[in-house]
Amino acid sequence: MSGELELVFHDQDEEQMDNLFRMNQEIDREIVFHNTVPLPDEQLPQAREKAVKQKEIVLNFFKGHPNNNYTPYEVFDQISESMMLFTSVRRSISDLTKEGRLIKCMYSKSRKGAYGALNRTWEYNKNWMPRLNPQK
């Protein structure tokens, strides 16, 4: 532990937790989009907005299937109408896992993917509670 104070909110209903999550996203917009291209500064706000929306699409998919676990490719396949790139699905899953919204499942829940290799799965964290500093 780095000695930083971490606040955890208890006794929140799902709607209140979602509102707190959105507030955290506002604070977090600078790190939601990973500028690896790199894009010119004038294009960054649009790219960040797109990344936030993509993350919401992936989160809503998992929230809609709270008792199941999925590989990134299965999520990609199920939300194909959103026109997201596979790499954007993986980034969203990684970011949501860091925030505690998704749980990376045990190896025993791995499944063969599109190319025959075992793939880890993720599931919705039904016990998620918003934290003031989600990156810690």
- Per-residue pLDDT, averaged over 61-87, amounts to 94
Rounded to 5 degrees, what are φ and ψ at 32?
A: -70, -45
Q: What is the pLDDT of residue 1?
A: 42
Spatial distance between the Cα atoms of 22 and 76, rounded to a whole number of angstroms: 23
pTM: 0.69
Q: What is the pLDDT of residue 70?
A: 97
Per-residue pLDDT reduced to its tens digit, 8-57: 555 556 777 677 666 666 655 545 666 566 767 777 778 788 889 999 99
DSSP 29-66: HHHHS---SPPPGGGHHHHHHHHHHHHHHHHHHHHHST
pLDDT greater at residue 79 or residue 129: 79
* Domains within the chain, CATH numbers bracketed: 14-32+40-124 (1.10.10.10)
Q: What is the pLDDT of residue 53?
A: 92
Three-class secondary structure of residue 115 per DSSP: coil
User: Mutual orientation of helices 44-64 and 86-98 as an angle, nearest 10°?
Assistant: 70
Per-residue pLDDT reduced to its tens digit, 76-126: 999 988 889 999 999 999 999 999 999 999 999 999 987 889 999 999 999
From the list 95, 21, 113, the residue with the least C-alpha distance to 58 is 95
Q: What is the pLDDT of residue 133?
A: 59
